[in-house]
């Protein structure tokens, strides 16, 4: 079993360059199969989820080639084969092939998606959108079968501003006949990034980034070249760890506007953050006061940053509460942090953190992707050595994490150990 080990207590100083957005990339890759010629994505992060999506493209007889951080997807000879086992079960974003294949072939057979378990994550809004466009849906042996004689534009209201449902409906609707209107659409930057790619391919999408997205269907989509936006969640993670473990850390290649909610809250705690056009400078390791955090849809505080913020609160003076309004089961990291000396109580969809706590190195496990990030931050500030198991969760969303941390003064390495 591979583990990440961290020797804590080293002050961090230097520059971290943020990669392109994981949550954009995992939608852009399925979107590329809607084209009739090659799509080139610039700045693809080196994460495991990208590898799994590549396997699915190849299952569909598409060509998938990475040169450094440039990905070329050639869907010229794509065939519509069921995606019911293998990589489809290893990441949540595999469900974007539902919308993409339905939009391209008017039919899709997809196994249930995998990824981190964060409590109930139903896809009923996705299916409701597909049905509104004219698809019939059946479920057999753990797979979902979508089929339509034709797809016709419709007005679709989402009961919740779901990022996944908004993206999937966009993928299915982009070649549907007539106009599709998505009301109460998600506003996240990744939605805008997807719309920019699809419009570059010849789509007609307006309103991305607002609560109403209007899609005029087109008959053909062509290849294009697209640069992926920076990863606001990776940026937020490094900003958080710099606040608690850094002397002075520059977080480079970011869009600060995407992180306004986080930056405002950290400043409220007493963190010194200097904002520039494409980077921030964080001067951390100062006394912080506890505050309350509540996640919400964009432009609110991202649920993906909730777990790193719990670790941050363990070092603040006072009692702070973190409430996750998006995912109910995103607090398993709290039990691991308590093993290290934290004082955290979980009540429903909230964690109550009493700080500051002196953390000590321990053997812990990443229960999901962002829980892994939370434990990495804890390891950086703990006395002694922290050993983190289930590293595959971390590798799903953070590329070269040990190199990036070691370059700013941390001591992080990997080992194979017996369980």
Please state the residue numbers annotated as binding site for phosphoenolpyruvate: 22-23
The tokens 């998600």 sit on which residue?
A: 186
Prior bond of 355 cis (ω within 30°): no
Nearest 10 degrees: Cα torsion 84, 87, 90, 96: -70
Active site residues: 116
Tokens of 133: 């466009």
At residue 409, the 3 state secondary structure works out as coil
Cβ contacts of 124 within 8 Å, gap of 6 or more: none
Which residues line the annotated binding site for UDP-N-acetyl-alpha-D-glucosamine? 92, 121-125, 304, 326
Which residues line the annotated binding site? 22-23, 92, 121-125, 304, 326
Alpha-carbon distance of 244 to 254, in angstroms, equals 20
Query: How many other CB atoms are found less than 10 A from the CB of residue 321?
Result: 16
CA angle 380, 386, 392 (to 5 degrees): 95
b or e along 174-206 (b: 16 or more beta carbons within 10 Å of the residue's beta carbon)? bbbeeebbbebbbbbbbbbbbbbbbbbbbbebe
Query: How many other CB atoms are found less than 10 A from the CB of residue 276?
Result: 11
> Max Cα separation, the chain?
63
Tokens of 96: 């974007």
């Amino acid at each position: 079993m591979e583990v990440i080990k961290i020797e804590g207590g080293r002050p961090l100083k230097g520059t971290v360059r943020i990669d392109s957005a994981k949550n954009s990339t995992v939608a852009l890759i399925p979107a590329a199969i809607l084209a009739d010629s090659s799509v080139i994505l610039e700045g693809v992060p080196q994460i495991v989820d990208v590898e799994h999506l590549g396997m699915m493209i190849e299952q569909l007889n598409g060509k998938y080639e990475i040169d450094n951080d440039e990905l070329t997807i050639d869907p010229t000879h794509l065939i519509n084969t069921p995606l019911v086992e293998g990589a489809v079960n290893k990441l949540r974003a595999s469900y974007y092939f539902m919308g993409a294949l339905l939009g391209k072939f008017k039919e899709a057979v997809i196994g249930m998606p995998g990824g981190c378990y964060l409590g109930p994550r139903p896809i009923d809004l996705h299916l409701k959108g597909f049905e509104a466009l004219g698809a019939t849906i059946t479920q057999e042996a753990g797979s979902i079968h979508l089929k339509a004689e034709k797809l016709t534009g419709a007005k679709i209201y989402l009961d919740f501003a779901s990022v996944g449902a908004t993206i999937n409906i966009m993928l299915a609707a982009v070649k549907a006949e007539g106009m599709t209107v998505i009301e109460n659409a998600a506003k996240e930057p990744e939605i805008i990034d997807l719309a920019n790619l699809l419009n570059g391919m010849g789509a007609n999408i307006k309103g991305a980034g607002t609560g109403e997205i209007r899609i005029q269907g087109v008959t053909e989509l062509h290849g294009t070249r697209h640069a992926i936006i920076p990863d606001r969640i990776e940026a937020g993670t490094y900003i958080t760890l710099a606040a608690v473990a850094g002397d002075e850390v520059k977080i480079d290649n970011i869009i600060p506007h995407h992180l306004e909610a986080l930056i405002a809250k950290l400043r409220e705690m007493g963190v010194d953050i200097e904002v520039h056009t494409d980077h921030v400078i964080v001067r951390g390791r100062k006394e912080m006061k506890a505050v309350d955090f509540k996640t919400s849809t964009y432009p609110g505080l991202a649920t993906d940053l909730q777990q790193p913020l719990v670790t941050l609160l363990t070092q603040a003076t006072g009692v702070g509460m973190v409430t996750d309004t998006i995912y109910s089961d995103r607090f398993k990291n709290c039990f691991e942090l308590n093993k290290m000396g934290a004082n955290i109580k979980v009540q429903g969809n909230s964690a109550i953190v009493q700080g500051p706590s002196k953390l000590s190195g321990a053997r812990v496990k990443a229960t999901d992707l962002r829980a892994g990030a939370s434990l990495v931050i804890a390891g950086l500030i703990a006395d002694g050595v922290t050993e983190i198991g289930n590293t595959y969760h971390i590798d799903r969303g953070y590329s070269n994490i040990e190199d990036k941390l070691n370059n700013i003064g941390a001591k992080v390495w990997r080992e194979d150990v017996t369980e």
